[in-house]
Amino acid sequence: MVVFSAMTTMAEDGSRLWLRYEKVQKACVTGVECIAAQELRNYYDGERANLVIDTTMAQDAYHIEGTTISAKDEIGLLYGAYALMRGEEGYSAPQWQLRILNHWDNLDGSIERGYAGQSIFWEKGDHTERIKEYARANASIGINATVLNNVNASPKMLSAAYIKQVKKIAAILRPYGIKVFLSVNFASPMALGGLKTADPLDAQVAAWWNAKAKEIYKQIPDFGGFLVKANSEGQPGPGDYHRTHAEGANMLADAVKPYGGIIMWRSFVYGANHKGEDRVKQAVSEFVNDDGKFRDNVILQSKNGPLDFQPREPYAPIFDNMKRTPQMAELQITQEYLGQSRHLVYLAPMWQEFFRFVKPNRLKGIAGVANIGLDKNWCGHHFSQANWYAFGRLAWNPDLTSEEIAKEWLTQTFHLPTTKRDAVLSMMLRSREACVDYMMPLGLHHIFKFDHHYGPEPDGFKAEYPIEWCPVYYHQADSLGVGFNRSHTGTNATAQYAEPYRSLYDDVKTCPEEYLLWFHHVPWTYRLKNGHTLWENIQEHYHHGVSEVEDFLRIWQEVKTDFDEQRWQETQERLLHQLENAREWQKVCLDYFRSFAEKS
C-alpha cells in the first residue's frame, strides 16, 4: 500500500503522472540495498519489506509473498516493489522480454507526431532530472527499452558527439533497467563515412558499420541495437541498390551480433515499387519472399494494422505471412489519428482488439510509439498519460483487461470516491469507440486532412500527391455506394489473411460491420443487421459519436468537486474542444457523403 499526496500539497499539473506518492519514510526495508529499497523506504506505507535475490527465477519476474519480494536481480526487485505498492501479490513474469518505447524525436528537439512539447532527450538544456523521472515511470510499469530518436533518422545520430550524449542518457536509464536503442539512417556510411555507396553487400560498407558498432558498444556496453526504417517514404535502404530487406538487415545484424545487439526492421514500406497496388497489400508483397532469410537477431516490426494507425483497422496480414521470421508489433501511443492530445481517447481497448487476432505468443516483443515531451503533464492531455501506462501494463501482461488497467491508473492518478471513479472509468472505456463513430465508422478510413492528420477532409485530393495519400482513394464514394473493394472481386487484399478471416472478410454478408467499408464497396441502400440502410447507419454512428462526447462533458461536470482545479479545468478545455471537433467531423463527413447517398 502507498499513501498518495493530498491535493493541496503540490500544484496538480500532472507532472507526477501516476507516481503521486507521499514520502512517508515509514517502512523498514531489509535484504538487498538497491533502488527498490529506496522506493519502498520512501513511499511504502507498510511497516517492513524484505528484498531477496533468487537467481533461479526468470528474467524480470518477481514473486511477492506477504511483504517479501523475490527476483533474479535488482531490476526484478524494482518491478516487484512497484507491484507491491499497487497492491499485487504472488508471481508475475512479463509476456515479452522486449518492451520498448519508440520516440520519434529529432535532434533539433522537435518531435514528429509529438503533441506534448519538445524532446526530453534532444532539446537544448539539462533535462537529467526529467529523464530520471521518465526512467522511474517506465520502470513502474515494466518498460525496459527505448529508442531515443526518430525512425526518419538523421545520419548525425551516429556521430561521435551524439554517441557521447547517448552514453550520458544510457547512464541515467540503466539503473532502472532500460536499454537504449537508436534509429539509424541506412545511408549513414555515405553521409558520415564519405563512402560512395551504402550497398549492404559492399565490403567497405559492412566494415563501416562494424566499426561504428564497435565504437558504440565501447561507450555503451549494454546498447540494445538499431531500429531501421528503410525504403519507405523517401528513406534510403537496400532497395536503392536492388538488394533485399533481408540483405540490408543482415548486414547490420552481423555488425551488432558480437555484442548481443538486435536489429528491429520496420515493415512499414510502400510506394515506388508497388505502383497501382492497394497500399494495404504492399507490406506483405514487399517482405514475404524474405521470410526465413533474416539473421536470428533481426526482428520484423509491424504496425498493428496494414495501413497507418487508423482509429480502427483489421489486423495486419503480415503477421500471418511471415511464418519463419521473428516479429514484434508496433502500436501507437501518441494519438496521431485519434485526436492527438486534444481528444480523450483511451487506447487499451484498441490494442486488446488487435490481440484477439494476433496472439501474444506469436510475437517476440512489443513497441509503442511514444508521445512524451517537455510539457509539464508529459503527454499534452492528462488522460493521454493513461495510454502510456496501459501500454506498459499490456506489454507486461496482455491478458489484463482495459477496465483493470484503467482502474489502476485512475486509482493512482486521482483521488475519487468509487462512484465518481466508475463514472470517469466509463468515459475512458467508451472513448475509443466514440472516436471511431465521430470520425470513421463502419470501416471508413484515412479521410483526414493532409499532412497533419487532424480534422476531416473526405473530399481530399491533390494531384501532386501519390493517390494512396488521398482520402478519396480510400472511401471510393460514388452514386452507387461507398467503401474500398478489397474482396476477390476488387484488390483481393482479403487473400493475404489466414483462414477463417480470409473467407469471413471476403464475403460482404459475413464481414464484421466494423470492417465493412474497409473490405467492401457497399450500396447506400444495403441493409445492415439492424435493418437500417448503410446510409442511415452512417448517420447514426456520427450522431452517436457526438452524443458520447456530450455525455463525457456531462460526467466531467458532475465530478468537478472531486478533482483538483487545475487538472479538472485543463481536461474540461480539452473536452470542449473535442466536442467541437467531433461536431465538425459529423457535419463535414455527412454533408459530403450526402451528396452521393441521396442521389442513389
Q: Span 539-565, mean pLDDT?
A: 98
Q: Copy the grid coordinates of residue 166.
A: 547517448
Percent of the chain with pLDDT over 70: 98
Which pLDDT belongs to residue 599?
A: 84
Q: How confident is residue 10, by pLDDT bands cut at 50, 70 and 90? A: low
Instruction: Give the integer Cα–Cα distance in Å for 542 and 593.
Output: 12
Query: Quick one: which of 321, 310, 311, 309 has its CA closest to 282?
Result: 321
If one counts every other C-beta atom within 10 angstroms of the C-beta of residue 259, the result is: 17
Instruction: Give the integer Cα–Cα distance in Å for 375 and 206.
Output: 41
Q: Flag whether pLDDT at 468 surpasses 90.
A: no
Q: How confident is residue 5, by pLDDT bands cut at 50, 70 and 90? A: low
Respond yes or no: is residue 551 known to be catalytic: no
Q: Span 486-508, mean pLDDT?
A: 98
Q: Flag whether pLDDT at 573 surpasses 70.
A: yes
Instruction: Give the integer Cα–Cα distance in Å for 142 and 434.
Output: 30
pLDDT in tens, 456-465: 999 999 998 8
| pTM for the structure as a whole | 0.97
Q: How confident is residue 273, by pLDDT bands cut at 50, 70 and 90? A: confident
DSSP 231: S
Respond yes or no: is residue 404 known to be catalytic: no
Q: How confident is residue 1, by pLDDT bands cut at 50, 70 and 90? A: low
Q: How confident is residue 492, by pLDDT bands cut at 50, 70 and 90? A: very high
Domains of the chain and CATH, by start: 28-92 (3.30.379.10), 98-400 (3.20.20.80), 441-484+521-597 (3.90.1330.10)
Half-sphere exposure of 37 (CA within 13 A, CB side): 13
Percent of the chain with pLDDT over 90: 95
Q: Span 389-394, mean pLDDT?
A: 98
DSSP 46: S
455, 581 Cβ separation under 8 angstroms: yes
Average pLDDT, the chain: 96
Which pLDDT belongs to residue 4?
A: 59
Query: Quick one: which of 386, 322, 181, 61 has its CA closest to 394?
Result: 386
pLDDT in tens, 395-417: 999 999 999 999 999 999 998 99
Q: Flag whether pLDDT at 222 surpasses 70.
A: yes
Instruction: Give the integer Cα–Cα distance in Å for 413 and 436.
Output: 26
Looking at 141-281, list the stretches that DSSP marks H as alpha helix, in order from N- to C-terminal side.
160-173, 188-191, 203-219, 245-256
Instruction: Give the integer Cα–Cα distance in Å for 245 and 250.
Output: 8
State the catalytic residue, choosing from 65, 233, 478, 565: 233
Q: How confident is residue 272, by pLDDT bands cut at 50, 70 and 90? A: confident
Q: Span 555-560, mean pLDDT?
A: 98
Which pLDDT belongs to residue 7?
A: 45
Which pLDDT belongs to residue 322?
A: 98
Q: Flag whether pLDDT at 149 surpasses 60.
A: yes
Q: How confident is residue 8, by pLDDT bands cut at 50, 70 and 90? A: very low
Q: How confident is residue 6, by pLDDT bands cut at 50, 70 and 90? A: very low
Respond yes or no: is residue 233 known to be catalytic: yes
Q: Count of residues for the chain?
A: 600
* DSSP strands (E only) in 6-136: 28-31, 48-53, 62-65, 68-71, 90-92, 98-102
State the catalytic residue, choosing from 13, 240, 291, 308: 308
Q: Span 444-457, mean pLDDT?
A: 95
Q: How confident is residue 9, by pLDDT bands cut at 50, 70 and 90? A: very low
Q: How confident is residue 451, by pLDDT bands cut at 50, 70 and 90? A: confident
pLDDT in tens, 61-96: 999 999 999 999 999 999 999 999 999 999 999 999
Q: How confident is residue 308, by pLDDT bands cut at 50, 70 and 90? A: very high
State the catalytic residue, choosing from 278, 336, 408, 457: 336
